[in-house]
């Protein structure tokens, strides 16, 4: 059983190129935000996590913004302590973004990766287990909770 397959890229149409432009622009704006963020005088106030506000529990994404800010500043350890799952899945996001840049520049994407449904379900259950485990108030699960590290 193949867990994933690679298909050759097809030529991108106008909609795909516009979507690539939008995604690359959002990523560039996000990177600029993360690089220039100043916690003492933030230009943009981001709302707190709605799930955490309503329940008092951490969601799988809690700490992601702070982790990306730390990662943009080159502090991998602090980013890891804030959201390790994000750091593990970041290479896939970077590959996707590079594919969007290639679509934008050449009209063709990188070879497309199609995941087997079993692998997709495994990723879903990993995220679900992470969500549950980071809310267990016992060591070593407390290591999964977002922690600000200087």
Q: Is the pLDDT of residue 46 over 90?
A: no
Name the percent of the chain lying above pLDDT 90.
37
Predicted confidence at residue 23, as pLDDT, reads: 82
Predicted confidence at residue 33, as pLDDT, reads: 80
Residue with the larger pLDDT of the pair 107 and 61: 61
Predicted confidence at residue 130, as pLDDT, reads: 97
What would the mean pLDDT of 109-118 be, rounded to a whole number? 80
Q: Is the pTM of this model over 0.75?
A: yes
Predicted confidence at residue 19, as pLDDT, reads: 81
Residue 29, Cα to own-chain centre: how many angstroms?
15
Q: Is the pLDDT of residue 24 over 90?
A: no
Q: Is the pLDDT of residue 128 over 90?
A: yes
Residue with the larger pLDDT of the pair 146 and 37: 146
């Amino acid at each position: 059983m193949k867990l994933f397959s690679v298909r050759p890229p097809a030529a991108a149409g106008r909609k795909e190129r516009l979507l690539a432009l939008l995604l690359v622009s959002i990523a560039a704006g996000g990177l600029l935000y993360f690089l220039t963020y100043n916690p003492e005088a933030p230009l943009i106030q981001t709302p707190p996590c709605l799930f955490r506000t309503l329940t008092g529990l951490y969601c799988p994404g809690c700490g992601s913004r702070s982790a990306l800010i730390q990662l943009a500043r080159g502090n991998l350890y602090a980013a890891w302590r804030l959201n390790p799952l994000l750091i593990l899945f970041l290479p896939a996001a970077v590959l996707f973004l590079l594919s969007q840049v290639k679509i934008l520049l050449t009209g063709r994407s990188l070879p497309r990766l199609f995941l087997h449904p079993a692998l997709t379900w495994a990723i879903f259950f990993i995220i679900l287990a992470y969500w549950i485990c980071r809310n267990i108030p016992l060591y070593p699960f407390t290591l999964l909770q977002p922690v600000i590290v200087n």
